Amino acid sequence: MSKPRKPKGRPVSGWLILDKPLDFGSTEAVSKIKWLFNAQKAGHAGTLDPLASGMLPIALGDATKTVPYVMDGRKIYEFAVTWGEERSTDDLEGEVTASSEKRPTEDDIRALLPNYTGTINQIPPQFSAIKIAGERAYDLARDGETVEIPSREVEIFRLTLLGVDADKAHFEVECGKGTYVRALARDFGRDLGCYGHISELRRTFVAPFAEEKMVPLADLVALEEIEDRDERLAALDEFLIDTAEALSSLPHLPVTEDQAHRIRMGNPVIVRGRDALVAESEAYATSRGKLIAIGEIGQGEFRPKRVFA
């Protein structure tokens, strides 16, 4: 019987909040970070297109178990819409599919914004990762097919007009999971009768990570100059954020070392105390500041669902 193959790389865990540069895909960015950190596992929480820059949270090691909690978080984007052209991809990359000489006034734009605040129905772009009959919409679109993508509800918490130029308007939007900013630009242009597409896009926030946590890729790449491997990896690890920070939206249960041992074995522990959590479908437990598990609380117990090394 052959021995199980040993995973390549280090069992390093934590979140890196990358400031992704332009013309760099999300998958490419994750591969680069995984290689730099010599990590066994890596994943990201929310794709950014190559023509978009900004916050790309990347999970290493056990932190990949917390990716869904970040995916569900609010996001903030700064973006520019250029008027006069609608494009196949709803951004600069696509071919022009419709054009107009009309340009909206600032008053026209401001009057439109309330229609895009709150819970709205949105049709994702033709070039998107939405699955249609088991295939990605962007694959079908690249083959020249026009597919009917059903609309879906998305949440727009805040939409602000930042400035207006002759052919362009700048916005900031705070939105929920599944919102396509490219679709906002497309729909703005159609409603205003002038067409439009995204010409600038930058993500500045993915809950719960603040903008000041972002690390430019160039700062990480510069550390490749450190010849000593252990010294280089130690310098890179300084940029990692503790895995538990991704779970700040969940109730928190501090546990003792003895309880932590039981939890790591997959066993429930008793929850006691006047301020003890009573019933929670999801909560996270820590011991001495380290994440132990995500689980549920009920009937006076914490029952682990996902345990962390």
Contact between 185 and 80 under an 8 Å Cβ cutoff? The reply is no
Query: Residues 205, 211: contact at Cβ < 8 Å?
Result: yes
Please tell me the total number of residues recorded for the chain in this structure. Answer: 309
User: How does DSSP classify residue 166?
Assistant: S
Strands (E), the chain: 14-20, 42-44, 53-60, 75-83, 85-87, 96-99, 118-122, 131-132, 135-136, 152-164, 168-175, 196-206, 215-216, 252-254, 269-270, 280-287, 290-298, 301-307
What Cα–Cα distance (Å) separates residue 125 from each residue in 15, 65, 66, 78, 214? 30, 29, 28, 19, 28
Q: From CA 293, how far away is CA 206, in angstroms rounded?
A: 23
DSSP secondary-structure letter at 39?
Answer: B
From the CB of residue 253, how many other CB atoms can be counted at a distance below 10 Å? 22
CA distance 234 to 5: 26
- The catalytic site residues sit at 49
Q: The tokens of 133 are what?
A: 């009959």
Structure tokens at 40: 């066994």
